[in-house]
Structure 1
Amino acid sequence: MTQTPTETVAEPTVPGRTRWGVFLAILAVPTLVVAALIALLVAWLFTDDSVAADVKKTSCSEALAFGGAKLPEGADDAWCGIEAGPEPRYEALFRMPRAEVGAWVAASFPEGPRLRTTQCGDTQVDACLNAGPVAGERASVQIDITHDSRKWSEVRFVAFTL
């Protein structure tokens, strides 16, 4: 018997073989990639975000005393830390009344140097001071002062050994 062009021929059915295995193998790769990205995101969220991992918070009296100074009476928002290493490096950040900055620096370093408003390195800094070991202290000191407003100044105090 001959087939006419409009007739359909039924395909023979073979039991057992499907294409689900190939489909699942193709789907497994993107699923594993997404799971790995989620695991990396969770690990990133729960790790320490500090820039310097060796910086530990310390008392401000210890940090400033290392450089021969004391925290001023009107200080606000103080944060102090120590960077571990072969030689300690203390850093203090605080705000204080702008009018009292000069008197605090003069009381902390009576033998000099004085604050200067030029050659401070950073254009954002309004006044600075670099002092070698002074007043029998073993540390060098860098102070950067940025005036936030007419009343307040932000002070960055760094004391380190050479």
Structure 2
Amino acid sequence: MAETQTETPVEQTVPGRTRWGVFTAILAVPTLVVAGLIALLVAWLFTDDSVDTGVRKVSCAEAFAYGGAKPPTGARDLTCVLEAAQDPRYEARFRLRRAEVSAWVAASYPEGPGLRTVQCGGDGIDACMNQGPVAGQSASVQLEITYDSPNWSVVQFVAFTP
């Protein structure tokens, strides 16, 4: 018998698609998601998300006048703000020589209770005063004095409508 040889036909290779396109598409989706999250994080970090607290700087003459006083002469580091809520609340903070604090308080509030050294409410407060509204004034005043050094005091002045 004659043997017939079976030949395997040679496959022709035709350039075509590979699986790299599918692989790239699968990797592209998580990469884009991560890149989008990073872009959102960067945008969140660099945007101004401050909230208006209603606190603004004002002239100290205005703040003290609301409480029926004048700014002390010789005051240092004087800063004044207004908390504009339903009722205005003025705050002033300054440094004044210890020897001049009592004289300024007495000149500003001659009919007031004067400074006291007991029942001042907070730790580290060396003297305080609470002045309710009196004739000609629309605001109550609170003073807290802290001795900063042997010569200087830090004074917190608050004038508000009760």
User: What is the TM-score normalised by the length of structure 2?
Assistant: 0.83
For residues 159 and 137 of structure 2, what CA distance do their matches in structure 1 show? 10
Return the letter of the residue paired with 2:45: L
Given residue 129 of structure 2, which amino acid in structure 1 is its aligned partner? L
| In the alignment, structure 1 residue 76 sits paired with structure 2 residue 76 | yes
Compute the displacement of 1:31 (Å).
Answer: 1.6
The 2-side partners of 1:48 and 1:101 are apart by: 37
Q: Which amino acid aligns with 1:56?
A: R
Compute the RMSD of aligned alpha carbons: 1.8
Asked if 2 retains the 8 angstrom alpha-carbon contact of 1:127 and 1:144, the reply is yes
Structure number with bigger Rg? 2
TM-superposition CA deviations, 1:39-75 (whole Å, max 9, x none) = 11101xx3447xx711111110110011111111110
**Structure 1 residues 74, 63: CA separation in 2 closer, same or farther (over 3 Å shift)?**
same
Residues 100-145 of structure 1 show CA distances to partners (whole Å, capped at 9, x for unaligned) of 1111111111112111112111102111111101352111001111
Superposition map of 1:128-139 within 5 A = 128-139=128-139
CA distance in 1, matches of 2:129, 2:92: 14
Residue 143 of structure 1: aligned partner: 143
Which blocks of at least 5 consecutive residues in structure 2 are unaligned?
1-14
Instruction: State the identity as a percent.
Output: 52
- For residues 135 and 71 of structure 2, what CA distance do their matches in structure 1 show? 17
Q: How has the CA–CA distance of structure 1 residues 47 and 151 changed in structure 2, closer, same or farther, with 3 Å as cutoff?
A: farther
How many residues were matched structurally?
A: 146
Q: Distance in 1 between matches of 2:50 and 2:78?
A: 21
**Deviation for aligned residue 1:29:** 2.0
